[in-house]
Structure 1
Amino acid sequence: MLHNITGIDHVLIGVEGLEDARSAYEKLGFTATPRGSHIGWGTANYCIMFGEDYIELLGIVDPSLETNGLDEALAERGEGLLGVALASDDPEATHQSLIEDGLEPSELLALKRKLELPEGDVLPEFKLIRLTSSAGLTAKNLFICHHLTPELVRQPDWLEHPNGAKYINSIVVVVEDPAVLASYYQRLCGSINVTLTDNTLTVRFGRGSLIFVNDRDIDLLFPGLTISDEMPALPHLIAMTIAVENLDQAAKFLTESGAAPQKIANGTLRVDPAKACGLLLEFTAG
């Protein structure tokens, strides 16, 4: 793929109560890592790791410290998807090629966070590149991430999930006009990975996809979905689909855990957003 972008790295879910969110996702059959925290900030996280990507549950643990806008996001939009990180296997090369292609990336940023392991805290390290609003999301909500210490954040026990989850299949973003974003993504990851229909723009990143849809056509992606509340200001990250090893086994686990998944005609399982921290969460066969 162009610019050394290899796939989806992770998604961020903003939550009101971090420990409650961990419990909710464990009830949905996900294995959470030990808690992490952002050095010098009042935010902390639990991660749900897969082989190549992961989910980050992000919450505020000390409101007296910097929250990087999480407090405002939760107040304005409530719990739910906050952003998407793409993966790069060579951040320096990615950064340089984005500049050369006129895609106006941020500077290459260094980041560390603390991970609280039983044997003692460790400091995973990352490099980040923020993208522009031309991508349909703000620079805070869409960025490229490279792990300098992957062995610290992907331990074998953390990759096994009772629901059989394997990877992030798709993330859906509601925007005013998906078509206007096509040229940006064609430049970012190549035309072969970009599909534009009358209703949606689908961008492939490795095994996962970023899907843009307008608010009038959401029901085409999510048949039977009823949105009772007013749609937040656009762009709005509304949904995520997780690929699982065996959909029947996932359905059995979710039913026995009390999640009461809804079987959709397109072959997916849907979980009530109230049980997934405001996120429309679906499972599909992977």
Structure 2
Amino acid sequence: MLHNITGIDHALIGVENLEAARTVFEKLGFTVTPRGSHIGWGTANYCIMFAEDYIELLGIVDPSMETNGLDQALADPGEGLLGLALASDDPNATHRSLVEAKLEPSDLLELKRKLELPEGDVLPEFNLIRLTSSAGLSKKHLFICHHLTPELVRRPEWEQHRNGAKNISSIVVVVDDPGSLADYYRRLCGSINVTLTDNTLTVSLGAGNLVFVNDQDIDLLFPGLTIAADMPPAPYLISMTVAVADLGETNSFLVDAGITPQKIANGALRINPAGACGVLLEFVQKRKIS
């Protein structure tokens, strides 16, 4: 992939009550890390770690402090997917390359957060590059992340999930005109990784995909889905699909946990937004690489 971008780094989910969200996702079979907090802000998170990517549950713990816009997002449109971070293996090279390609990246930002471990707090460090709104999402919705201290945020036991989850398989974004974004993503991720079919734009990001669709074609991706009348105006992130080791075992786990997923004709198991903090969540069988 171009610009030292290696795939998906993480997806962000904004939640009204962080502790309640942790309970929801644990019941869904995910292992949740210890809590982290953002230095100087009133926000905190729990993470769901996989081998190469992860999910971040993000909530407000002190509304008197800066929330980086999370308060506005939770007010309208409410809980649900907030954004997607792409991964870079060399943030300095990524930034130089994006500038040379005239893709208008932000400055290279340095961030830290506190991770509350039983043995004591640690400070994971990150580099961040925000992308232009030409990407079809705001700069807060799509950015590039590099972990300077990955050993602090990943432990083998955190990557083991009772539902068999292995990685983020796809994120779907509703936009007015998917085709208009094709040139930008060819320049960002390489033409070989971008496919435009019947006005659905798919960007291959390693083990996962970023998919853009307009609101008239959502039912092609999500058969049987009923769209609420109060959905926000485009663009907005509508769904996340997680690949699992054995879909049958995932279904059995969910049923035993008192959760009845909707079985979709394409084989996916669907959890409606009311059961996943505003996220349309689907589980699919992880593809075998031959």
State the TM-score bracket (shorter-chain normalisation): over 0.9
SS at structure 2 position matched to 1:127: strand
* Residue 229 of structure 1, CA deviation: 3.0
Cα contact 2:177–2:199 (8 A) shared by 1: no
4+ aligned runs moved over 2 Å, structure 1: none
The alignment status of 1:271 with 2:258, answered yes or no, reads no
Q: Displacement, 1:256? A: 1.2
What SS class does the counterpart of residue 284 from structure 2 fall into? strand
Paired residue type of 1:219: D
In 2: Cα distance, 1:54 partner to 1:165 partner: 11
Matches within 5 A, 1:157-196: 157-196=157-196
Instruction: Show the counterpart of 2:134.
Output: 134
Structure 1 residues 27-66: aligned runs within 5 Å: 27-66=27-66
Task: Give distance in 2, aligned partners of 1:228 and 1:133.
Answer: 26
Could you give the per-residue CA deviations for residues 216-246 of structure 1, whole angstroms, max 9, x where no partner exists? 0000000000113322021110000000000
2-structure distance, mates of 1:67, 1:231: 23
Letter in 2 for 1:221: L
Q: How many residues align?
A: 286
Give the Cα–Cα distance (whole angstroms) in 1 for the partners of residues 81 and 229 of structure 2. Answer: 16
Matched letter for residue 130 of structure 1: R
Per-residue CA deviations over 1:99-127 (Å, capped at 9, x if unaligned) read 00000000000000000000000000000
Matched, 1:230 2:243: no
- SS in structure 1 of the partner of residue 74 of structure 2: helix
C-alpha deviation, 1:160, in angstroms? 0.2
Distance (Å, rounded) in 1 between the aligned partners of 2:127 and 2:81: 22
Please give the per-residue CA displacement for 1:9-31, whole angstroms capped at 9, x wherever unaligned.
Answer: 00000000000000000000000
SS in structure 2 of the partner of residue 77 of structure 1: coil
| 1:229-278 deviation digits (Å, cap 9, x = unpaired) | 32202111000000000000000111111221011000100002111000
> What percentage of residue pairs aligned between the two structures are identical?
76
Hey, what does 2:149 align to over in structure 1?
149
Q: Distance in 2 between matches of 1:259 and 1:46?
A: 22
Once residues 254 and 269 of structure 2 are traced to their aligned partners in structure 1, the CA distance between those partners, rounded to angstroms, is 9
Q: Note the C-alpha offset of 1:198.
A: 1.1
Root-mean-square deviation (CA, aligned residues, Å) is 0.6
**Alpha-carbon distance between aligned partners in 1 of 2:109 and 2:163, rounded to the nearest angstrom:** 35
1:73 corresponds to:
73
Letter in 2 for 1:45: N
After TM superposition, the structure 1 stretch with the greater mean CA deviation from structure 2, 226-235 or 79-88, is 226-235
AA partner of residue 206 (structure 2):
G
